[in-house]
Structure 1
Amino acid sequence: MARMYRVLGFWTLVFGLMAFAGHMVEMALLFFMQTAFFVGLGYLKLTERTYILLFWGYMVVCFTGFSYWSVFVMGKPY
């Protein structure tokens, strides 16, 4: 399970580099932070249950943040 967090770190690094190449600096920084988070967790040698709970917590935070951003920050389409 720890190896999958390193794989997630690799893919978030790829997306961060693509965003940086596309001059989307804020998005790139967000993905670079996620890369550091995932790679760091990948080397902690936690139990499989802990890794699954951390991933569920990550998904709840991401979906909540995305929903908040798309409803309250982006506003209503005209």
Structure 2
Amino acid sequence: MDEKISKELKDNLIDAGCQNELIQTCMDCIKVNNIDMLDFHLQKHRQYLLDCLHKYQNEIDCLDYLLFQIEKEGGI
């Protein structure tokens, strides 16, 4: 694989929040042209990020409700 493409791919994986172990796994998949396993690992990481997003969104919703109640009651 071209060194420039390899660096760009690694930078993209870092930007996507991938840890070193996952980055190495993905790079290994590319080296042996195992696109199915690459897709599997990337989809798994994507699902992890979505799960985190949903968890934090729920926590934000709880805080928004609390703030709404405080404003509605005029304080605590």
Q: State TM-score, norm by structure 1.
A: 0.49
In percent, how many aligned pairs have the same letter? 4
For the 8 Å contact 2:10–2:23, the answer to whether it is kept is yes
Q: Does 1:36 align with 2:20?
A: yes
2:55 to 68, 75, 78: 68
- Gap runs ≥5 in structure 1: 16-30
TM-score calculated relative to the size of structure 2 = 0.50
Which stretches in structure 2 are left out of the alignment for 5+ residues?
68-76
Contact 2:13 2:23 survives alignment (8 Å): no
Larger Rg: 2
Please give the alpha-carbon distance, in whole angstroms, between the structure 1 residues aligned to 2:54 and 2:40: 21
* Structure with the larger RCO, 1 or 2 (CA within 8 Å, 6+ apart): 1
The alignment yields a C-alpha RMSD, in angstroms, of 3.1
